[in-house]
Chain A
Amino acid sequence: MLYANDISKSFVSDGNEVPVLKKVSVAIEEGEFVSIVGRSGSGKTTLLNVLSTLVRPDDGELHYGTDDLTALSESRLNSLRQTDFSVIFQFHHLLPYLNVLENTLLPFMQSMRPVPKKTAAKARECLARVGLLDKADRLPGNLSGGEQQRVAIARALVKDSRVLFADEPTGSLDKATGEQIMELLTELNGEGLTVVMVTHDPAYAELAQRTIHIEDGIIV
């Protein structure tokens, strides 16, 4: 489903080019739950960002189905992120000035055309699924970290995303809340959603069907 072949990526820091990914190859199959683990600075978040098309690789191939993602135009990549891919981050995954329902519908608010009623109804269903329907009118500032993370997951559900990329989704949560989030991700994966998760917690990594270890930009 998603194939990365010999991906390289460097960043410039203080005028020096720092290689972060060195010819990394990864294959993610449809319906898989893959965790990416590694020490801080090993390149796991960069790999996730490359796979989710948020960062373009310097070199290598990246295929999603039959599409060569490295050759796709900016607008095609945007459209892919709008439909097939969803990303949840450790922090700051919601716009603080939009309420829970609006944040859930954010992918559908890209034009002057109002969000269809059907989509709004689906968003409410998804919020109910993650247990937040009663908080649909609240601003993110009035939610706990776990609840905010669940709103981001509900957003992915409304989009009917095929792949959910999660960057340390439990990193800022307490143990109990983290476990709830992991339960939700496992449940969604059981329903067919492909999950690619970066984590530094070996216990959560074990919940995935497969774990990719990365060290100094190389898969080990």
Chain B
Amino acid sequence: MNILTIPFRNIRRRPSKSLLLLLVFTLGVMSIVTLYQVSRVVGVSLEKKLIAYGANVIVSPATEKLSVSYGGFHMGDMLFDIQNLPEEETVAAIRNIKMSDRISVVAPKLVTMAKIDDVAVALVGVQWTQERALKSYWATGGSFPAAKSDSPAPGLSNEILLGSRVAGMLGLAAGDSVAILGRNFSVSGVLYETGTDDDTVLFMELESLQALLGTPNATSFIEVAALCSGCPIEEIVDELRAALPGTEIKALQHVVDQRMASVHFVQNLALTISLVILVTAAAMVGLSMMAAVNERKKDIGILRSLGYGKPQIFTIFCLEAGLIGAIAGALGYLGGFGASFKVLQLLAMAEGGTPVFSAAHLLMAIVAFALITILAAIYPAAKGASVEPSTALVAL
């Protein structure tokens, strides 16, 4: 028996009233936890979907650039000492950084120029699985070349994919054959116009291009799609720099910003709704405590006659509210966690993530909601504490 006994027994004395208040606040907490879990999962899912619209980090060899002009005639920038990156080692290094769970797609590329029927064309070697994960907006007349792992034929792939403008310049269509650097390839498809650089290049399997150029394991640069909702892109870039010394790592900040704006919109919306629910639930607790203070002036009179001071009366009302908040925090967190699965199932938006149970979050919910209800009860509790014994005695 201690001061906690008083609010605890009072809550128990009026089960229907206490349960109603508890139910309202639990529903509030539940809604907030559900919104948090759903917005988190939807954010991750949304970001993963947005990854399909391009990379946000570029890994390329460090090069030196020289601006050349002579006699007032500017001849442009000259790159020298161009080196390729070792494909396997670089990809492995990217995949093995500490925040590897934030790395979604790693798409190495080898780029070169070649003449096909006297037309200069840019050739890009790609890994089809990674490239298509990065560019799900691609559509083709014909079909996409089979990924190396899916290809039934042993050896190097001889399928190519043409950008729409290149196909027009070369007069090629799906099903045609063409000789590139002395080897025959078949056009599996032609990309519909994308409005990007992809329209002006010819794509083939990375390994095939490496073989054609006699540079096995070489890659010109690597596009990386990183998930930025859990940490800033700068942290990922720093880790990549540490893992890949001598390379240039560049974050495409505008791409990151665009993606995060979408994710943040979802999270901010959830936060706003949560705040409204929280304020409403806290107001209900405050109103209920106000009514309780008025109802319990007799109790206050008895307690004051027994030597309870203002701080003790204040504590009793705050503890009563805090107990409700703590219980609602625990029940609401568990209920909200369970409900988030159902909501995500109904919304069909749980791709790429599931609600995560955390004992630390449960504890935080208990403490936070106990504090919120105590805050909501401060004014009524102070009002109760300020009741003079003489006023309270009138009720006796």
Contact = CB atoms under 8 A, between A and B. Distances in A.
B324 to A, nearest CB: 15
B146 interface: no
B1 A87 contact: no
A83 interface: yes
B307 A114 contact: no
A24 to B, nearest CB: 16
Contacts of B396: 89-92
A105 B299 CA distance: 15
Interface string A91-103: 1111111100010
A93 B305 CA distance: 10
Interface string A113-134: 1110000100000000000000
A49 interface: yes
Contact of A55 (B9, B390, B395): B390
A112 B303 CA distance: 16
A173 interface: no
B54 interface: no
Contacts of B5: 98, 102, 109
Interface stretch (A33-41, A73-81, A190-198): A73-81
B6 A78 contact: no
A107 interface: yes
Interface residues of A, number: 38
B255 to A, nearest CB: 55
Nearest to A139: B13
A155 B298 CA distance: 18
Nearest to A79: B307
A114 B298 contact: no
Nearest to A103: B302
Nearest to A119: B1
B3 interface: yes
Interface in B260-290: none
Interface in B104-159: none
A74 B312 CA distance: 13
Contacts of B393: 49, 54-55
Contact of A54 (B305, B309, B310): B305
A106 interface: yes
B92 interface: no
Contacts of A95: 6, 9, 299, 302-303
B292 interface: no
A112 B10 contact: no
Nearest to A110: B312
Interface in A32-84: 49, 52, 54-56, 74-75, 78-83
Given A49-B390, A96-B13, A109 B305 contact: no
A96 B393 CA distance: 16
B357 interface: no
B392 to A, nearest CB: 9
A106 B2 contact: no
Contact of B306 (A74, A75, A81, A90): A81
Interface of B: 1-6, 9-10, 12-13, 298-299, 301-310, 312, 389-390, 393, 395-396
9 contacts: A54-B389, A55-B389, A55-B393, A80-B307, A81-B306, A89-B302, A95-B299, A95-B303, A115-B2
Given A97-B12, A114-B2, 7 more contacts: A49-B393, A54-B390, A56-B390, A78-B307, A82-B306, A89-B305, A112-B4
What 7 A-B pairs come out closest when comparing CB atoms? A82-B307, A97-B13, A81-B307, A78-B309, A55-B390, A54-B389, A97-B9
